[in-house]
Amino acid sequence: MSAAVAAAVRERVRRAAGNRCGYCLSRQEYVLGLLEVEHTIPRGRGGTGDEANLWLACSLCNVYKGVQTDAVDPRTGRRAKLFNPRTQAWARHFRWDDGGVLIAGRTAAGRATVVALQLNNPVPVAVRRNWIRAGWHPPRQRWAIR
């Protein structure tokens, strides 16, 4: 989380994001550490600190995203822009597979994002399995499946 982001802006971003990671939909109360306010277009790629360029990400998604803005779609082999959780609907670009354990891309942006952010690496897969056992996952809130 950037110290340069004002507390009021961070709070508005948290509310708008439903206190979930915009990429893997992990809820704040289920992850260690605070969800981070991230730049959907990274500053290193010309993104601004304007609220319209900010969203929430868990530390794992944010680290894997880094300064990436696009990645290779494994289906077509072409580069595709990464999913933007501020402006795009998660359910249009992704779906839950294996009962909510895996995130599958529906579109080029979704597939490229799954690969680039390693959304199905062994750590979140194991955690999601445990969340399913606890009845906490997959998310069913309306905003999460818009």
Domain boundaries, the chain: 7-145
- pLDDT at 47 > cutoff 90: yes
Handedness of CA 41, 44, 46, 52 (dihedral sign): positive
Position 146 confidence tier, pLDDT thresholds 50, 70, 90: very low
Coil, strand, or helix at residue 76?
A: coil
**Is the pTM value of this prediction over 0.85?**
yes
Q: Which helix (H) or strand (E) holds 60?
A: helix 59-65
Are 146 and 94 spatial neighbours (Cβ–Cβ below 8 Å)? no
Q: Could you list the beta-strand ranges (E) of the chain.
A: 36-39, 54-57, 70-72, 79-81, 94-97, 102-105
Q: What is the DSSP-derived secondary structure letter of residue 69?
A: S
